[in-house]
Amino acid sequence: MAKPRFSVSQITTFHQTFDEDLASYAAAGVEGVGIWQFKLPEDGNDREALAKLKDSGLKATTMIPGTLSIHPVPFPGPDDPAERTEELCATIRRFAPFEPEVVLVLPGAPAAGSDPDEARRVTVEGFRKAAKVAAEYGLTLGMEPLHREIYGTWTTVYTIPQTIDLIDEIGEPNVQVLYDVYHLHDTDNVLEDTVKYGSRISPSIHICDWREVTRNDFDRVLPGDGIIDLEGIFGALDAAAHPRWVDLEIFSDDGSFSEMDFEDSLWKQPAADVLARAKAGFDKAWAARRPPA
């Protein structure tokens, strides 16, 4: 299978503007951009951003809505699931002209004390509505399972099988698994599940690496600089999922997300250096990928 093309999620260069991201990514030989809504104009007029994206030659890969879940997550936004669903649907319509590979979504976390069956019904109905809107524009929703220990209050799905169960209940063909090596690398049977459900994985996936001693929830490192078995995961993905894009997604706290201001934060380092090292790390890990047993 062809090697996935390399993309960069805009959170990786958190302090840059949309224009600066396009310029630095193109200069680094990156082919795609994972666009976050907060980097687009606040007034919702994306005409200029769309023109600049086209001129850059970059492809929109994984797009991240501001309101990305049916139940709340620890991001700004309404608490009411119905309001959140409407905001998500509106963002999907806004994203459509960018023609992304996938729009990332999360279930969110129901309020404490909620009836679990009712909360699940609300989740499923909300995503059915969002998926139907996405289908009008030929778009795919990517349901991302999150790491249980790090993001336990953000979601109700943490593994590939749990995510597949929710997607099956939603029952819309344009909902797939948004695979993130950071969140899934240490789940039970991850390589087996990657192969088993490869056809259900979205064409754009998230990559980074796990610092051996993680200092907080926003302390990721570049591919090859951590302890994730990227070679094994990439081998399983190559065998069964055939991703078209790998989207580098780095959170690296410099005091922006907590009181912890890491001196070695990647957000403090020159983008050109970070992107060059990241791409080299991915290239090395992909070349050394191991076919699944």
pLDDT in tens, 112-126: 899 999 999 999 999
Taking the C-alpha atoms of residue 71 and residue 82, their distance in angstroms, rounded to an integer, is 9
Domains and CATH numbers, the chain: 5-287 (3.20.20.150)
Which residues, at least 6 apart from 146, have a Cβ–Cβ distance to it below 8 Å?
106, 154, 155, 157, 158, 180, 183
Q: What percentage of residues in the chain have a pLDDT greater than 70?
A: 100
Is pLDDT of 45 > 90?
Answer: yes
Q: What does the pLDDT average to over 10-27? A: 98
Q: What pLDDT does residue 1 have?
A: 66
- List, for residues 236-256, the tens digit of each pLDDT value: 999 999 999 999 999 999 999
**Position 75 confidence tier, pLDDT thresholds 50, 70, 90:** confident
Tell me whether strands 102-105 and 175-177 are parallel, antiparallel or unpaired: unpaired
Q: Largest Cα–Cα distance in the chain?
A: 51
Q: What pLDDT does residue 153 have?
A: 79
DSSP letters, 55-95, are HHTPEE-EEB-SS-BSS--SSSS-S-HHHHHHHHHHHHHHH
Taking the C-alpha atoms of residue 146 and residue 155, their distance in angstroms, rounded to an integer, is 7
Number of residues in the chain: 293
**Position 152 confidence tier, pLDDT thresholds 50, 70, 90:** confident
Q: What percentage of residues in the chain have a pLDDT greater than 90?
A: 94
Is pLDDT of 293 > 90?
Answer: no
Q: What does the pLDDT average to over 263-290? A: 98
Q: What pLDDT does residue 76 have?
A: 86
Taking the C-alpha atoms of residue 268 and residue 12, their distance in angstroms, rounded to an integer, is 11
